[in-house]
Amino acid sequence: MSDEASLIPLKRTRESLEKISSNLAPFLALLDRYYNQNDNSNGERSGDKNDNREKIDKQMVTEAEAAVALAIGTLRYMAARLKGSAKGQRKNDPLRLELDKMRKTLVALKKLDKSANSNDKKRKGDA
């Protein structure tokens, strides 16, 4: 019974990693499409601006980059905790400050997206 209880934190960590992985996959796919859409078969950038490639919204790309940065910071925090380090636990720790900055960036992006959507709805209502 005590062996099972000692494995609970490890199981929770594994579940958290699986959740991060599944939530991060769409962002990584978007970034992959965005950064690799202009590559030709030789891996070189094509200069043709009239190709029929997918147009990806810059705000979506920025949000995906911020989400990936937050996930990486969270994984760094988890790794430090698993190693027994106190890194990121103090309020002024660089890792903590970086995570807080990424969270604020995501919140700001969400607010910007909401305001852009409400402005679009207002314009459509005026037309």
Residue 28 token pair: 């990584």
CA-based torsion, 83, 88, 89, 90: positive or negative: positive
Give me the percent of the chain exceeding a pLDDT of 90. 23
pLDDT, residue 116, reads 81
Q: Supply the mean pLDDT for the chain.
A: 81
With 70 as the cut, is the pLDDT of residue 15 above it?
yes
pLDDT, residue 28, reads 95
3-state secondary structure of 64: helix
- pLDDT tens string 72-126: 988 888 888 888 877 667 788 888 888 888 889 889 988 888 888 787 776 666 5
Lowest-confidence segment of 10-19, 46-55, 74-83 by average pLDDT = 46-55
The pTM of the full predicted model, rounded to 2 decimals, is: 0.70
Q: 46 falls in which pLDDT band (50, 70, 90)?
A: low
Give me the percent of the chain exceeding a pLDDT of 70. 79
Do 74 and 99 form a contact (C-beta atoms < 8 A)? yes
Residue 106 token pair: 């995501």
